[in-house]
């Protein structure tokens, strides 16, 4: 029996989107390492001596998803590791990891840290071409673009079952760290004109008060849990329109017509590679046209790369 450590990006995170990512990560890892033993440790909090022990004893250590990497780990690090940790962490394998935002090349500190903690034998899975290029630039040639694991079930057959025409209701999300009252109010107004009901999922703590400020009478609040989101997606005939990337992908997983409103590099870069339905948040005509027109969801994924990354553990 193999021992596997999963560096869990949903632990110590107030962003429920990380739970969507880790749900997919665990789902695929359980298939790859069926019957093996799993221990999870945090990425968003400092690593303890107990976690160092589990890492030392593990056969594989895999970090799951999110835009975890950055070019200046000495000044901004969602992944709470530093030079001290590099004495204990090594041979970490990436699974569907992305880059924090558009940046220059990693600085010398970051390059040294990544070369100390990341595996140089197994292939790393990243979720977009931009992240691959950033790692290639500092000497990692064992990197393949697989898209995000949350998208791996969006096969051609799956996408053909996604509704093509507007529903009577819509699921809306906004992004806590990218709020823009002027732009977001315009989105609310457009949806209010075209849908009977607006379901609003609270993905982070400040999302509720932010939406309350728009005084929209059509809003039905969905409680902040992945289970509540899944119930709405299962029980209600609706579209998804929102700035939350992984809420939109969750809707696609549930065969709901979805449009992700881009507010940063994450959705845009993934869309470039995969044809994920993404549009700029301030493209009013594009949003209206998508709502009112027939839309065929045609996600394109690098299936060979996905298979290559998974098969490397089965040798």
Give the fold, CATH level 3, of 156-292.
Answer: Rossmann fold (3.40.50)
Element (DSSP H or E) covering residue 94: strand 92-95
pTM higher than 0.85 for the full model?
yes
DSSP annotation of 75: T
pLDDT of residue 77: 85
**Contact of 20 with 228, CB cutoff 8 Å:** no
| Beta carbons within 8 Å of 204's beta carbon, 6+ residues apart | 14, 15, 16, 176, 224
d(CA 23, CA 247): 13
pLDDT tens digit at each of 315 positions of the chain: 999 999 999 999 999 999 999 999 999 999 999 999 999 999 999 989 999 999 999 999 999 988 899 999 988 888 999 999 988 888 999 999 999 888 899 999 999 999 999 999 999 999 999 999 999 999 999 999 999 999 999 999 999 999 999 999 999 999 988 889 999 999 999 999 999 999 999 999 999 999 999 999 999 999 999 999 999 999 999 999 999 999 999 999 999 999 999 998 778 888 988 999 999 999 999 999 999 999 999 999 999 999 999 999 986
Which SS3 state, helix, strand or coil, does residue 54 take?
A: helix
Residue in the structure block whose two tokens are 């290639």: 136
Do residues 131 and 271 make contact, with C-beta atoms less than 8 angstroms apart? no
Numbered ranges of CATH 3.40.50.2000 in the chain: 156-292
CA distance 171 to 294: 18
Contact (CB, 8 A) for 222 and 172 = no
pLDDT at 90: 87
Scan for tokens 């449009």, then name that residue: 259
The answer to whether residues 7 and 58 touch, using CB atoms and an 8 Å cutoff, is no
3-151+303-311 fold: Rossmann fold (3.40.50)
pLDDT of residue 118: 97
């Amino acid at each position: 029996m193999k021992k596997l450590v999963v560096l869990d990006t949903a632990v110590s995170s107030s962003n429920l989107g990380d739970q969507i990512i880790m749900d997919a990560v665990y789902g695929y890892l359980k298939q790859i390492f069926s019957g093996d033993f799993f221990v999870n440790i945090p990425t968003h909090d400092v690593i303890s001596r107990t976690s160092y022990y589990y890492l030392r004893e593990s056969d594989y250590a895999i970090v799951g998803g999110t835009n975890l990497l950055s070019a200046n780990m000495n000044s901004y690090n969602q992944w709470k590791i530093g030079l001290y940790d590099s004495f204990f962490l090594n041979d970490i394998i990436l699974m569907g990891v992305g880059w924090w935002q558009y940046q220059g090349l990693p600085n010398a500190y970051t390059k040294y840290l990544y070369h100390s903690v990341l595996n140089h034998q197994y292939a790393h899975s990243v979720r977009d071409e931009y992240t691959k290029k950033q790692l290639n630039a500092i000497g990692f040639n064992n990197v393949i673009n697989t898209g995000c694991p949350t998208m791996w079930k969006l096969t051609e057959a799956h996408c053909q079952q996604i509704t093509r025409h507007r529903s009577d209701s819509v699921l809306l999300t906004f992004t806590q760290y990218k709020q823009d009252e002027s732009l977001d109010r315009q989105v609310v107004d457009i949806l209010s004109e075209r849908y009977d009901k607006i379901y609003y999922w609270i993905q982070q703590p400040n999302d509720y008060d932010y939406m309350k400020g728009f005084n929209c009478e059509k809003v039905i609040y969905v409680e902040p849990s992945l289970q509540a989101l899944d119930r709405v997606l299962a029980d209600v005939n609706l579209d998804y329109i929102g700035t939350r990337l992984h809420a939109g992908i969750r809707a696609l997983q549930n065969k709901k017509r979805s449009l992700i409103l881009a507010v940063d590099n994450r959705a845009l870069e993934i869309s470039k590679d995969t044809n994920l339905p993404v549009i700029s948040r301030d493209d009013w005509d594009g949003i209206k046209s998508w709502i009112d027109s027939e839309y065929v969801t045609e996600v394109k994924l690098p299936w060979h790369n996905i298979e290559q990354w998974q098969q490397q553990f089965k040798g």
